[in-house]
Amino acid sequence: SFVGYMAKKNVKKKTKGHYPAPLAAINSVIYGFSKPIDKGLRNEAKEFSKLVITPISKNLVQLFYNQESLKKYTGVSDDTIRPKVIKKAGVIGAGLMGAGITWALSYKGVETRLKDVENKFLVKGLQQINTIYKQLVKIRRLTPTQANILFLKNVSTTSNFSGFHDRDIVIEAIVEDIEIKKKVFQQLERQVPDHCILASNTSSLSINEMSTVLTRPENFIGMHFFSPVNRMPLVEIIVGDKTSPETIASVVQLSKGLKKTPVVVKDCPGFLVNRVLLPYLNEAVKCVQDGVSVEKIDQIAVKFGMPLGPLSLADEVGLDVGYKVAMVLEAGYGERMKTAQVFQDIIGDSDCRGRKSKKGFYIYKSGNKEVNRPLVDRAVSYSSMSNQKYLDSDVLDRMILVMVNESVRCLAEGVVENHLLLDMAMILGTGFPPFRGGVLRYADSRGIKEIVTRLRELASVYGERFKPADLLIQYAQDGKSFYK
Ligand code: NAI
């Protein structure tokens, strides 16, 4: 029937063919429509039993259990620690992130004071908050009155520190510059009560270093929201050496209150999500240098299940923004995270900053995009391998196994407590395909031995950055996997 056809078409568009269950469900409904009930039910049972044994189903069930166990997650091992009650918040910086965070707090009833240096920035921030509320009214999540009440009751603004004397938490989201952030935190600490938690939304700067200017570093923590804040469900919580368990428990509870999933990580360059994601993006650029076409690289990643190809994603994030984080990683980890050489040309060209400047790996013209040929020409000039032919599976393994390898290092270093949290963070923070169950779950499905063999092969062709992590080698030797 036409209805069935349209339903299937919509599902295919949404799932890109990666999730068979919704299609089977539609087919069962169509079948049952024209048959007696017992036949319909028998058919449904048959379809169900086919699906339930697939790896996709098992991965999704595992994810469900991960999510359930996260409900009890407090971020600390000592269960006598009581989180502080947070009723009043402050946000510094009314830009993209600050406005998003202010919206998230106000929406869940936290009275929030938003500060920026000038009124014109505050006005822009308020407009952004208003836009999110309007969208919620449009999809009928809120009535116009409810939206107005939440907005007017819970959001106020200031261009100085007035009203910061009674805050329970202040989240900073100003420019990504450590010296400016340090200065602001130093001023801020004098304006807030002793119990107040100070959090930074930095995406790449060291929490430990920032805390050196504070007299109460135990109250200081990283709270890394993802953009756009109203849609991204993850908050990476970065713990410094001096952060108190009470502070950790408090921001974990606050994040849950905002209906986000908190994952506690240690302070290291890139924290967890960017540390694992950036090597994937960087490897995609190295593939361009080695002569693989831009479209092909993106297609291969999308076929694997990523929501967006890596080069499209880099354009969306902004090449200037990505480069800054990439430099932090290169400085932190050296050779294995060396930024692709073509970035020299990209950074030298201020028009080439990705989607926002209409030019990146693609050129954006009135709703269309085409590959940026001149950039590709420059990229291939950096590689002696750009005339070779590559198998799709090689390109995919270069991009994905580099993530697997870095994930395992994070686990070995205790950057994140366990494999379940790591997989959840990568799925929620980067859109790593849920049906694959996460980066480490994917590694298990390929077999750790096979991963180690592949990494060694890639290392012999492309270089040391693919050298398998020690823990991976150990798992391969012991015949272990990350999941039971
Ligand atoms: P933005 O440039 O949109 O906003 C920064 C705002 O801070 C501006 O309104 C500016 O006037 C204000 N500001 C600067 N100095 C100030 C001061 N001393 N006091 C008060 N306000 C001040 O920047 P965006 O993108 O919102 O980023 C903010 C922070 O969030 C950065 O640390 C960034 O690394 C981090 N972040 C950004 C993400 C993104 O996708 N844009 C994602 C996750 C974190």
Does residue 224 carry a catalytic annotation? yes
pLDDT tens by residue, 267-296: 999 999 999 999 999 999 999 999 999 999
Does residue 186 sit in helix, strand or coil?
helix
Which atom of ligand 1 is the closest one to the Cα of 227?
40
Enter the pTM of the model.
0.95
CB distance 346 to 352 below 8 Å: yes
pLDDT tens by residue, 188-226: 999 999 999 999 999 999 999 999 999 999 999 999 999
201 CA from centroid of ligand 1 (Å) = 9
Examine the pLDDT at 325 and tell me if it is beyond 90. yes
The rounded percent of the chain whose pLDDT value lies above 70 is 100
Q: Is 316 in the pocket of ligand 1 (CB under 6 A)?
A: no
Q: Is 227 in the pocket of ligand 1 (CB under 6 A)?
A: yes
Nearest residue CA, atom 29 of ligand 1? 173
328 CA from centroid of ligand 1 (Å) = 18
What average pLDDT does this structure show over 164-185? Answer: 97
> Would strands 220-225 and 197-200 be described as parallel, antiparallel, or unpaired?
parallel
Confidence grade of residue 1 (pLDDT, cut at 50, 70, 90): confident
pLDDT tens by residue, 156-170: 999 999 999 999 999
Residues 6+ apart with CB under 8 A from 325: 203, 204, 270, 274, 278
Q: Is 473 in the pocket of ligand 1 (CB under 6 A)?
A: no
Q: Is 273 in the pocket of ligand 1 (CB under 6 A)?
A: no
Nearest residue CA, atom 9 of ligand 1? 95
Classify the C-alpha dihedral 174-98-161-256 as positive or negative: negative
379 CA from centroid of ligand 1 (Å) = 31
pLDDT tens by residue, 237-272: 999 999 999 999 999 999 999 999 999 999 999 999
Query: Which is the catalytic residue, given 18, 165, 195, 224?
Result: 224
78: left (phi over 0), alpha (psi -120 to 50) or beta: beta
Residues 6+ apart with CB under 8 A from 126: 94, 99, 114, 155, 157
The rounded percent of the chain whose pLDDT value lies above 90 is 96
Nearest to 321 by CA among 283, 360, 369, 288: 360
pLDDT tens by residue, 403-453: 999 999 999 999 999 999 999 999 999 999 999 999 999 999 999 999 999
Q: Which residues sit opposite 88 in a β-bridge?
A: 111
Average pLDDT, the chain: 96
231 CA from centroid of ligand 1 (Å) = 18
Note the pLDDT of residue 367: 87
Confidence grade of residue 460 (pLDDT, cut at 50, 70, 90): very high
Note the pLDDT of residue 484: 87
Examine the pLDDT at 462 and tell me if it is beyond 90. yes
Confidence grade of residue 26 (pLDDT, cut at 50, 70, 90): very high
Does residue 235 sit in helix, strand or coil?
strand
Unique residue bearing structure tokens 């480490």: 440
> Would strands 220-225 and 368-371 be described as parallel, antiparallel, or unpaired?
unpaired
